């Protein structure tokens, strides 16, 4: 589910004495992970720790990192803030000699945010870089953690991320799982197309199906049967997340049918 693991990012301007840490990662092995991050810091102190969303593979190490580095922690969800206020949509954070813009990108979860680094504008990404958490992954597509995750919100977030590239200036994606991607606009367009393709596939599957009520129960027999039709060869380990995404897609489809 996490590909090669959760990417923890250390962000600082060249020559800065401080740094920011983004997504501390899992609780298991947190002390050893903090040791590895301390080596990357190279003597810099930590000014701020940021979290892209509440899932445990991003927040499990929050308290270990907070105590180890003595830095405040900020997230959209105040439950994961430590000695700091929650993140605000589109606020600009000045820290570690650089600027970071908070970009709301709900859909994977309701509290998902991305972090835009316009100053990270060296070739081949003259428009900067954006840390997308789980909203965009380095490989494959992400799940929607329904009912907290929502497909309508997710599609709007793809529009938001695509809009970060202006005047042809490419913005690279730094995802929380997997490798860096060249263009956030191109990837957001691919993600949107994939999701809308699933909507149409599901529309056909339920055309002759008995009425399905909203909110959709992701653990129902109906959702399981539909998942087996859409994803017949899916490994069991990712079947449940696929059913959550399918339920979010069903909810989106049925809600639009009512409007």
**Residues in the chain, pLDDT under 50:** none
The pLDDT of residue 40 is 96
* 8-13-15-20 Cα dihedral, nearest 10 degrees: -40
The pLDDT of residue 256 is 79
Kindly report, residue by residue over 213-250, the tens digit of the pLDDT: 678 899 998 899 999 998 898 888 888 999 999 999 99
Q: Dump the DSSP string for 84-116.
A: SPPP-TT-EEEETTEEEEEEE--SSSTT-EEEE
The pLDDT of residue 65 is 98
- Distance CA(31)–CA(79), nearest Å, equals 21
The pLDDT of residue 132 is 98
Which pTM was predicted? 0.94
The pLDDT of residue 2 is 62
The pLDDT of residue 1 is 56
């Amino acid at each position: 589910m996490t590909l090669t693991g959760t990417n923890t990012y250390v962000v600082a301007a060249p020559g800065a004495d401080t740094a920011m840490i983004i997504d501390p990662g899992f609780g298991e092995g947190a002390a050893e992970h903090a040791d590895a991050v301390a080596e990357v810091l190279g003597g810099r102190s930590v000014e701020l720790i940021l979290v892209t969303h509440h899932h445990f593979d991003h927040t499990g190490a929050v308290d270990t990192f907070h105590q180890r580095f003595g830095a405040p922690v900020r997230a959209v969800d105040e439950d994961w803030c430590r000695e700091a206020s929650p993140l605000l949509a589109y606020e600009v954070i000045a820290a570690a000699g650089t600027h970071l813009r908070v970009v709301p990108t709900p859909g994977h979860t309701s509290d998902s945010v991305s972090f835009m680094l316009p100053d990270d504008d060296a070739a081949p990404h003259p428009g900067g870089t954006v840390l997308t958490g789980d909203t965009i992954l380095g490989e494959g597509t992400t799940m929607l953690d329904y009912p907290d995750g929502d497909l309508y919100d997710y599609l709007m977030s793809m529009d938001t991320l695509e809009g970060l590239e202006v005047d042809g200036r490419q913005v690279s994606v730094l995802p929380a799982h997997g490798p860096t991607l060249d263009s956030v606009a191109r990837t957001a367009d691919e993600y949107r197309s994939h999701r809308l393709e699933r909507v149409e596939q599901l529309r056909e599957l339920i055309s002759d199906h008995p009425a399905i009520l909203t909110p959709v129960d992701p653990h129902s027999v109906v959702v399981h049967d539909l998942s087996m039709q859409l994803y017949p060869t899916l490994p069991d380990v990712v079947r449940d997340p696929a059913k959550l995404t399918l339920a979010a897609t069903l909810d989106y489809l049925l809600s639009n049918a009512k409007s």
